[in-house]
Amino acid sequence: MDDEERQLAAHFTELEAHLASQLSYGDLDLTLAELRDVQHRCQAVGLGAPILEALDDAIAGESDDLSFSIDISSDGDQTDILSCAGDYLALFRHYALAETQYRAAKDEFGLARCLAERLARERRSSASEELDRMEVEALDAALGAVHRVQVTGGSANERSWERRACQALHLLDDLSASSRPGRLEERLEDLKSAPLQLIESLGCFLRCPGAGAVENLSRRLLLPAPWLAQPLSTLHGIQLPPGVRTLLVDSRAFCQPGMEIAVRRWRHELRRALEEGPTCPPSRDLLASAAAIACHCHFTGYCIPLQENEEEYEEGDEENEGKMPSAFSAFDVKWIVSAMYEVPCQAAPPQLEAMGSIPELVELICRTCKHPKEEEEFMKTLDYLSQPAKPGLPCSPCRDFYDSTLYPPWHYAVESVGVVPVPLHVRLQHISPLWTPQEVPSCRILVAGCGSGHQVAVELRSTVLEGASELIALDVSARTMAAAKRKLRAVLTDREFARVKFLVGDIQHLTRGHAFVRDGFNLIVCCGVLHHLADPALGLERLAALLVPDGVLQLATYSTISFKTWQPRVQAWLQKLPTFRSMSQGSRTPSRQEVRALRQEILTASKEEALHSLPTAISVAHDSWVGSRIVQELERAACKEFFTYAGFLDLLFHPLERTAKDLIPHHP
């Protein structure tokens, strides 16, 4: 490290100490991650400590109307240096100064960010015309930033590209949400584009951490305010646009009431077209659309209700046998139709397997045929906390529940806790302010109750692991663990996957007797799990006993107050529904057909009640208020659990349900 690098490192060390003394945990985590990002960029473009000190002087003397531009005397690229200077100024929330640098550098992302901050401050005070101008400029800059990230691609530095994509997408999403309804569509029209074109172009981001923003933008464009043009209503199931098909395959965008209605209509249209169509083989677009719908229905666990007057699909129906020529048989059609309603009982026909040029069909065959076989093989490779007897593990309602349904359902995007991964000791200091050690050279993490693997992926993407560091993924369900291992093998890098060990067992049976847990853990993550144990207090005891000195236990459980606020009232309201009453009898897990029927009854009943006017002072015990409140929550898409079979069961039919109060041991 030369003198300039040492000066730069010392400058940022001072800044980090200053920020740590000024900010709270949440803001500090994100700001320090951003600070390290800026530091790395300063090193890359040659923005040294002397120029940063000049920026500090400008910050100290800033006034609201100050216009400032730095005098560059460096061998680096002038545009990159100006843009980096803008990042440095924005880090300290000096957006007026940063905006000057971004404009000079033609940095669209930085400019959009500064304009978004100005809009947030000035919405209540500025004139309407000025706000309109700022909204237009901010949206144009954000669209330009997303396009720039898209064309640069992520091959050179995948993580850096994903982070920039995530920032640009969330910025565009926030600006679109806060702007006047229809503003984004107007900007697209002026730019000679259209909502469906933008949705298609955003498809490449559905497997990066910005996927949530893509889903929000897509919903807003496909299902805008009622007084605007409704693109969703103009789309026909037999020829869905490529961008919509990608959303169906790789996102949760259609897990929302209005969007789900469109899926139901498209599925019915596709079924009729495939079963009642001409004798010639289906077109490529028709097969791609049907496969995309089937992929989405498979992701939801086939819990989407039928259209009115639509009959349940029966795979054994021979009515259409012989209609298709031998090159594309009736069996091929039946297989893809059945895949829209249930997991097909038979393997994919060779004719469909040969259609590798239809990516939606390839993905459908993988999900319904290949992935289950892969998971059966992974089952043979799992380690157990205690070796099960030949007949199987001891009876466990919780294990049986998760053996029958994969939770949580997720696609390929992995969100990270911070903007960039940080060393474990930094994370531990943020989780527990009393944690003091400065380094954890080789760390061990336990994800207790890892489910389908999403939490494992989040931990690996949020924490910098070095040396012999490893992560143990523990779950009570071997079937769920096999699915997690298969999914993580596809999502993680080879280096990340090699750090993970998979262990099947019950948290309540954890001891240091197994080689995987013998050495204890620096961090134990147990989110949404303890309240599903028969004895949560015992589970908490067992986890705490596995912590090394200075280890941290990160827990998330149901709130007793929150749980009792909604759960008894909702259960009482649901008892009015015939399907729920029949499903509540006994301890079995409801079938997909039963969940479809119940979801339809909930939507119908709650919407009917929502039509009645509510009194000004609403009684929280009022039955119709409960029904109306359910549909209001759904319309805001606040309850994602409602839209998948696994989530619906976890929400309303879990065999063991506790709250934080149950974690406290009861003494006589």
**Cis peptide bond N-terminal to 408, omega within 30:** yes
pLDDT of amino acid 19: 74
Long-range contacts of 224-229 (CB under 8 A, 24+ apart): 224/181, 224/182, 224/185, 225/181, 225/182, 227/181, 228/181, 228/182, 228/185, 229/185
pLDDT of amino acid 619: 37
Distance of CA 169 to the CA centre of its chain: 14
Among 419, 481, 424, smallest CA distance to 455 is for 481
Measured between alpha carbons, how far is 332 from 348 in angstroms, rounded to an integer? Answer: 8
CA angle 581, 587, 590 (to 5 degrees): 65
pLDDT of amino acid 114: 92
Residue 515, C-beta contacts closer than 8 angstroms, at least 6 positions apart: none
Among 250, 156, 160, smallest CA distance to 202 is for 250
Helices (H), 300-396: 330-338, 350-353, 359-365, 371-379
Residue pair 472/455 in contact (Cβ under 8 Å)? The answer is no
pLDDT of amino acid 326: 46
Q: How many CB atoms lie within 10 A of CB 102?
A: 27
Task: Provide CATH 3.40.50.150 ranges for the chain.
Answer: 409-557
Query: What b/e readout covers 182-216, taking b as 16+ CB neighbours within 10 angstroms?
Result: ebbbebbeeeeeebbebbbebbebbbbbbbbbbbb
pLDDT of amino acid 289: 97
Cβ-in-10-Å burial (0-12, 13-18, 19+) of 429 comes to: buried
Distance of CA 399 to the CA centre of its chain: 25
Distance of CA 226 to the CA centre of its chain: 27
Q: How many CB atoms lie within 10 A of CB 428?
A: 22
pLDDT of amino acid 64: 42
Measured between alpha carbons, how far is 349 from 398 in angstroms, rounded to an integer? Answer: 37
Distance of CA 616 to the CA centre of its chain: 37
Measured between alpha carbons, how far is 412 from 454 in angstroms, rounded to an integer? Answer: 9
Measured between alpha carbons, how far is 484 from 505 in angstroms, rounded to an integer? Answer: 15
Containing 11, the helix (H) or strand (E) segment is helix 3-22
pLDDT of amino acid 621: 37
Distance of CA 124 to the CA centre of its chain: 33
Q: What 3 state SS string does 74-124 have? A: CCCCHHHHHHHHHHHHHHCCCHHHHHHHHHHHCCHHHHHHHHHHHHHHHCC
Cβ-in-10-Å burial (0-12, 13-18, 19+) of 275 comes to: middle
Residue 591, C-beta contacts closer than 8 angstroms, at least 6 positions apart: none
pLDDT of amino acid 252: 94
**Mode of pairing for the β-strands spanning 470-475 and 383-384:** unpaired
Residue pair 248/296 in contact (Cβ under 8 Å)? The answer is yes
Measured between alpha carbons, how far is 233 from 226 in angstroms, rounded to an integer? Answer: 12
Long-range contacts of 228-234 (CB under 8 A, 24+ apart): 228/181, 228/182, 228/185, 229/185, 231/195, 231/196, 232/258, 232/259, 232/262
pLDDT of amino acid 129: 83
Integer Rg of the chain from CA:
27
Measured between alpha carbons, how far is 620 from 614 in angstroms, rounded to an integer? Answer: 12
User: Could you list the mean pLDDT of each consecutive 10-residue stretch along the chain, which spans 668 residues?
Assistant: 80 80 62 79 84 79 49 64 88 85 91 90 76 92 93 66 86 93 93 93 90 94 91 92 97 92 95 80 92 97 88 60 54 90 92 92 96 96 75 68 91 70 78 72 92 93 86 96 96 93 94 91 93 90 93 86 75 83 74 90 70 39 50 54 91 75 54
With H, G, I as helix, E, B as strand and everything else as coil, classify residue 580. helix
Residue linked to tokens 């800026």: 38
Counts of helices then strands in the chain (DSSP H, E): 30, 8
DSSP state of 634: H
Residue 357, C-beta contacts closer than 8 angstroms, at least 6 positions apart: 284
**Length of the chain (residues):** 668
Residue 78, C-beta contacts closer than 8 angstroms, at least 6 positions apart: 72
Residue 326, C-beta contacts closer than 8 angstroms, at least 6 positions apart: none
Residue pair 331/309 in contact (Cβ under 8 Å)? The answer is no
Quickly name the fold that domain 409-557 has. Rossmann fold (3.40.50)
